[in-house]
């Protein structure tokens, strides 16, 4: 019940396209859902996060969509660019408790 399942494992998108990464969780007590971006050889960086009181949050080209009833949330990257090529991790937590991470998605944007 503590797991966060992330899909797909890898994703290839053409430049200018929309990248979509999905995560599903079981624990209905989770109330914080961040996404991290990691470039090779670097630490993950917090990209965007959402609380369950809203269904969508947008920051620039990055949008989180949240479906509380389905226990799913997703990251959408609009107008994907080669510089967006990285590994993306979703995560979830209850309050200030430790984060539970998804397995990661390796995103490649073809020029």
Partner 1 sequence: DGGITQSPKYLFRKEGQNVTLSCEQNLNHDAMYWYRQDPGQGLRLIYYSQIVNDFQKGDIAEGYSVSREKKESFPLTVTSAQKNPTAFYLCASSSDSGSYNEQFFGPGTRLTVL
**Surface-to-core class of residue 14, CB atoms within 10 Å of its CB (0-12 exposed, 13-18 middle, 19+ buried):** exposed
Whole-number minimum distance, CB 94 to partner 1, in Å? Answer: 9
Whole-number minimum distance, CB 9 to partner 1, in Å? Answer: 9
Which residue number, 20 or 49, has a Cβ lying nearer to partner 1? 49
Among the residue ranges 13-21, 34-42, 59-67, 68-76, the one whose residues contact partner 1 (CB under 8 A): 34-42
3-class state of residue 79 by DSSP: coil
Find all residues with CB under 8 Å of 30, minimum gap 6, and list them: 52, 92, 93, 94, 100
- The correct pick among 63, 74, 85, 93 for binding partner 1 (CB under 8 A) is 93
Q: Does 96 bind partner 1 (CB under 8 A)?
A: yes
Which residue number, 17 or 106, has a Cβ lying nearer to partner 1? 106
Contact between residue 102 and residue 23 where contact means Cβ atoms under 8 Å apart: yes
Q: Does 106 bind partner 1 (CB under 8 A)?
A: yes
Q: In whole angstroms, how far apart are CA 42 and each of 38, 45, 47?
A: 6, 9, 14
Q: How many residues does the chain have?
A: 111
Task: Please give the residue ranges that form the binding site for partner 1 (CB under 8 A).
Answer: 31-32, 34, 36, 41-46, 49, 51, 89, 93, 95-99, 101-104, 106
């Amino acid at each position: 019940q503590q797991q966060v399942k992330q899909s797909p494992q890898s994703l290839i998108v053409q430049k200018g396209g929309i990248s979509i990464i999905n995560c599903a969780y079981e624990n209905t007590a989770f109330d914080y859902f961040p996404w991290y971006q990691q470039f090779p050889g670097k630490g993950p960086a917090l990209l965007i996060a959402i609380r369950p009181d809203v269904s969508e949050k947008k920051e620039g080209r990055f949008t989180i969509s949240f479906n509380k009833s389905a226990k799913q949330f997703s990251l959408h990257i609009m107008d994907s660019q080669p510089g967006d090529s990285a590994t993306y991790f979703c995560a979830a937590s209850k309050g200030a408790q430790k984060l539970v991470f998804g397995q990661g998605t390796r995103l490649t944007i073809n020029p």
